């Protein structure tokens, strides 16, 4: 088969998967299917027509770009409705019965399964939000738009249509942060920079110089890593396609697995910790925070700005992701344990083809209020409604969390200047030790451009705490019209 001629069926793929819905606000509506027959009828007759697909997203992006070129006011705030729908394993069973096809093994276990909890070092569900666990969750609607009122109104309308067919278990709205913090998560760092480019979808910015990249530094990934029914990555070659994995059922084509994690961020505690540890190390707090993340708050990477922030670099999508880690063999610029180096080691392992098989597409949004004046300990829940898409939860999201972020030995095989093995430590942002125990990170102090000062950052507490989680299958539009309803 000539894979180069394969085209993504964007009109059949739900819109949040590959490009993303407009997300100035997003309502997460988790529910139980109380009346399966009634639910199926309403979805088939009404809901499917409202769902956002990839073709809609592309058209929206073209309209917004054209308005901006013409200098149209408010182009980014147009009232676009985005709506997607995903199901848990229990939800699929409610729709298809107990003899339904078996899906991804991690999906079938579920996010709250003891095996999953142990593998990821997650806190047990007994420590999650009680309201999230009030009843069985069968499915989730993602409803996105320009503001809270808009998504709330559409959510209420949807609930009215479905009536007694569903029972709402938990709902919460995420919003972008205000003013200059727009696009930044609650610790203050610009988010969403290093997304994979999708072959056949992402435009190539430098066709002659870098034909295998979208934006500079954005490696192109085969669509089968994120949407079922297409070729994925080749484990031996980062450019050639791998095989098309068998589908669990014909209707699974153009579907994807969604991981949801409600991550509460302890912002005042993070700030106080960074300030105290920076003073201990004799560096300024912004530098220590950047070394924990791997980027400055502006988005500028340490690999290109090792000692001082460069906001112009951080804001430039043609430069802020154009780097590898192979030119920093002794973590002088960026610590091995820094968040962005842990979750996406690029060429750090010496096997970039394998690294690319663990990519995910993130589609997250902050939630909760801004830190209030005088709030020195967390009084209000805030953080990130983390969402990512992939075709193998175990090989992609769980691998990153388990084998990268939470493995203190990764990246392995590294040495210090002059010799001596390095244990990088935990990802200080999302890495988790067993039972929530203490963590360490190697070399918070920068030995750049020279030096060999040995330092360790001891982190007795988590600054990012899991408070709810779920695994969902996001089916194609066709599946929702036919096989599932």
Instruction: Compute the average pLDDT of residues 330-359.
Output: 96
Q: What mean pLDDT comes out for the span 317-343?
A: 96
The model's confidence at residue 417, banded by pLDDT at 50, 70 and 90, is confident
Average pLDDT over residues 445-472: 96
| Cis-peptide, bond into residue 138, ω within 30° of zero | no
| pLDDT single digits (tens) 24-37 | 999 999 999 999 99
pLDDT surpasses 70 at 17: yes
Mean pLDDT of 37-45: 98
Q: Mean of the pLDDT values across residues 449-469?
A: 96
Q: What confidence category does residue 1 fall into, taking pLDDT thresholds of 50, 70 and 90?
A: very low
Arithmetic mean of pLDDT, 91-112: 98
* Contacting residues for 324 by C-beta, under 8 A, at least 6 apart: 303, 346, 347
Question: Band of the pLDDT at 6, cuts 50, 70, 90?
Answer: low
For the segment 156-169, the average pLDDT, to the nearest whole number, is 98
Predicted structure pTM score: 0.96
Average pLDDT over residues 63-85: 76
Pairing relationship of beta strands 220-221 and 197-198 according to DSSP bridges:
parallel
Residue 78, pLDDT > 80, answer no
Residue 62: pLDDT band (50, 70, 90) is confident
* pLDDT score, position 420: 85
Please give the pLDDT value at position 74: 52
User: What mean pLDDT do residues 126-130 have?
Assistant: 97
Given the DSSP bridges, would you call strands 233-234 and 166-175 parallel, antiparallel or unpaired?
unpaired
pLDDT band at 195; cut points 50, 70, 90: very high
Q: Which pLDDT value is given to residue 2?
A: 47
Region label for 378, one of left (φ > 0), alpha (ψ between -120 and 50) or beta (otherwise): beta
Average pLDDT over residues 35-56: 96
Confidence of residue 73 (pLDDT cuts 50, 70, 90): low
**Does position 58 have pLDDT exceeding 90, yes or no?**
no
Q: What is the pLDDT of residues 395-412, one digit of tens each?
A: 999 999 999 999 999 998
Mean pLDDT of the chain: 95
Among all residues, which ones are annotated catalytic? 191
Which of residues 64 and 198 earns the better pLDDT score? 198
pLDDT at 343: 98
Q: Find the mean pLDDT for residues 33-45.
A: 98
pLDDT at 56: 87
């Amino acid at each position: 088969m000539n894979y180069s001629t394969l085209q993504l069926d964007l009109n059949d793929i739900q819109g949040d998967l590959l490009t993303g819905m407009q997300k100035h606000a997003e309502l997460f509506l988790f529910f139980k299917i109380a009346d399966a027959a009634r639910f199926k009828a309403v979805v088939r007759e009404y809901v499917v027509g409202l769902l956002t697909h990839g073709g809609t997203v592309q058209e929206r992006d073209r309209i917004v770009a054209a308005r901006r070129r013409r200098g149209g006011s408010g182009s980014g705030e147009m009232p676009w409705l985005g709506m997607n729908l995903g199901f848990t394993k229990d939800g699929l069973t409610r729709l298809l019965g107990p003899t339904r096809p078996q899906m991804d093994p991690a999906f079938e276990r579920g996010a709250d399964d003891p095996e999953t909890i142990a593998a990821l070092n997650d806190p047990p569900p007994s420590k999650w939000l009680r309201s999230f666990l009030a009843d069985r969750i069968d499915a989730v609607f993602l409803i996105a738009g320009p503001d809270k009122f808009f998504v709330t109104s559409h959510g209420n309308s949807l609930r009215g249509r479905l009536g007694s067919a569903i029972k709402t278990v938990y709902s919460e709205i995420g919003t972008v942060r205000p003013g200059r913090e727009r696009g930044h998560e609650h610790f203050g760092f610009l988010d969403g920079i290093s997304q994979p480019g999708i072959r056949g979808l992402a435009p190539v910015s430098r066709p002659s110089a870098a034909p295998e990249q979208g934006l500079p530094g954005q490696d192109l990934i085969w669509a089968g890593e994120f949407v079922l029914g297409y070729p994925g990555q080749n484990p031996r070659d980062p450019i050639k396609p791998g095989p098309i994995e068998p589908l669990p059922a014909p209707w699974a084509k153009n579907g994807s697995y969604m991981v949801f994690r409600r991550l509460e961020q302890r912002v005042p505690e993070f700030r106080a910790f960074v300030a105290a540890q920076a003073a201990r190390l004799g560096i300024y707090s912004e530098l220590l925070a950047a070394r924990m993340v791997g980027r400055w708050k502006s988005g500028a990477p340490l690999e290109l700005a090792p000692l001082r922030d460069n906001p112009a670099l951080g804001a430039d999508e043609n430069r802020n992701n154009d780097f590898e880690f192979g030119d920093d063999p002794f973590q002088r610029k960026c610590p091995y344990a820094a968040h962005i180096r842990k979750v996406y080691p690029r060429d750090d392992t010496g096997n970039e083809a394998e690294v690319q098989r663990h990519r995910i597409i993130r589609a997250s949004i902050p939630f909760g209020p801004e830190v209030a004046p005088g709030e020195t300990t967390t009084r209000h829940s805030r953080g990130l409604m983390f969402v990512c898409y992939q075709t193998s939860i175990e090989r992609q999201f769980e691998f990153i969390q388990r084998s990268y972020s939470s493995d203190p030995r990764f990246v392995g095989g590294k040495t210090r200047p002059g010799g001596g093995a390095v244990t990088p430590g935990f990802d200080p942002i999302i890495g988790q030790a067993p039972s929530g125990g203490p963590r360490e990170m190697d070399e918070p102090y920068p030995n750049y451009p020279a030096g060999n000062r040995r330092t360790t950052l001891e982190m007795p507490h988590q600054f990012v705490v899991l408070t709810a989680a779920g695994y969902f299958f996001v089916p194609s539009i066709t599946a929702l019209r036919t096989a599932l309803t």
